[in-house]
Amino acid sequence: MNQRIPDGLREMLAQATDAGHLPWRALMKSGDWLLLVCVAALVAASYPLLWRGGVADRAIVRRDGQLVTELALNIPRKYEVTGAIGTTVIEVQPGRARVLSDPGPRQYCVQQGWLTRANAVAICAPNHVTLQLAGRGGRNTAYDTLNY
Amino acid sequence: MTPSTIELPVTADDYRIARYAAAAIALSVAEAALPSPLPGIKPGLANIIVLVVLVRHGWRDAAWVSLLRVVVGSLVIGQFLAPGFFLALAGALCSLGVLALARHLPSRLFGPVSVSVLAAFAHIGGQIALARAWLVPHDGVYYLLPLFATAALLFGTLNGLVAARLLAIPVAIPVATPGAAASSPAAEPGP
């Protein structure tokens, strides 16, 4: 088996596993450290830059597809929309929004709970009301639409 | 046994490249068995061999070893011409392009670690570019970029350190001669 490892490589492996070799730190030159620090900074910066898309900053309420209101997601409040069969109550808290109550028979949009990501949507079909979150920047969004 | 009518002259270069390529292929096949949290995130251990070959024998040999590794490695694990093969090829080509430039970095300041990190980033760059253009034509691919970049930084550094340690050994590497290779039964099945 040993025969098939390249001669040079076998010698190198044998010596690399020996005791008394150079410490790992000695293998790094000053330019290596500089490059590593710069690259690590770039990598760290790429997280907020590329992962910001999912953050929502406003809730859009529609009735029959027509815009009713846009609620900023920074102040907690409740908002009532009158729809086809009754009143839907939207609750907004910092960074999230939900349908608090709805007259629909199956309560799908209420059971969906809190919406937190941009483009997440809760549809109260019987009452013709939708609640959708929107993020900043049209392009940098993670999803076209989110539903459960 | 009938002697072959075709004689392909085999040079010392061929033996050397074949042996390094075999080591690189073995590493990439072994690595294919490792579980990965995300397709595309791999240590890239074969690149240690490519780095060592680059420093010891130059870019041409490194290119041979790297491309042989991609082609034969994918044949062994049954991925030849599958999407993963093209991603690996794109990564290897980009990384070879960067290696061609990075080897001219002043060696007083920059060691194998820098070269390895740059090559690792070229690797993911090539892969993501191909994936965006061909496999997943949607900007959502860039969502994974921070994870790939973190993996490239980590594994690029580790591979570079291993290559640096291998290269730091002050031993003249004996060049495999055709005569020496012929004495080992596995390398020479001919007459």
Q: Å from A19 to nearest chain B CA?
A: 12
CATH number of A54-135: 2.60.320.10
CB contact under 8 A, A29 and B109: yes
Query: Closest Cα to residue A7, out of B73, B183, B191?
Result: B183
Expressed as residue numbers, the domain containing B66 is 12-170
Residue B178 lies in a domain: no
pTM score: 0.68
CATH code (residue B148):
1.10.1760.20
Residues A141, A53 contacting (CB under 8 angstroms): yes
**Calpha distance B23→B20 (Å, rounded):** 5
Q: Å from B188 to nearest chain A CA?
A: 11
CB contact under 8 A, B176 and A6: yes
For B46-81, write each residue's pLDDT tens digit. Answer: 999 999 999 999 999 999 999 999 999 999 999 899
The residues spanned by each domain of chain A are 2-50, 54-135
The answer to whether B23 contacts chain A (CB < 8 Å) is yes
Q: What percent of chain B has pLDDT over 90?
A: 59
The answer to whether B105 contacts chain A (CB < 8 Å) is yes
Q: Indicate the SS3 state at residue B173.
A: coil
For B14-26, write each residue's pLDDT tens digit. Answer: 999 999 999 999 9
CB contact under 8 A, B23 and A5: yes
Residue B184 lies in a domain: no
Mean confidence (pLDDT) of chain B:
85
Nearest CA in chain B to A14: B166
Domain count, chain B: 1
CB nearest A8 (choices: B140, B143, B173): B173
For A10-55, write each residue's pLDDT tens digit. Answer: 777 776 666 556 677 788 889 999 999 999 999 999 888 777 656 7
CB contact under 8 A, B117 and A42: no
The answer to whether B189 contacts chain A (CB < 8 Å) is no
CB nearest B186 (choices: A3, A6, A15): A3
**Calpha distance B145→A46 (Å, rounded):** 8
Residue B91 lies in a domain: yes
CB pairs under 8 A between A and B: 117
Residue B55 lies in a domain: yes
A77 CB burial (10 A radius; 0-12, 13-18, 19+): exposed
* Residue written as token pair 């710069």: A38
> Is the per-residue pLDDT at B152 higher than 90?
yes
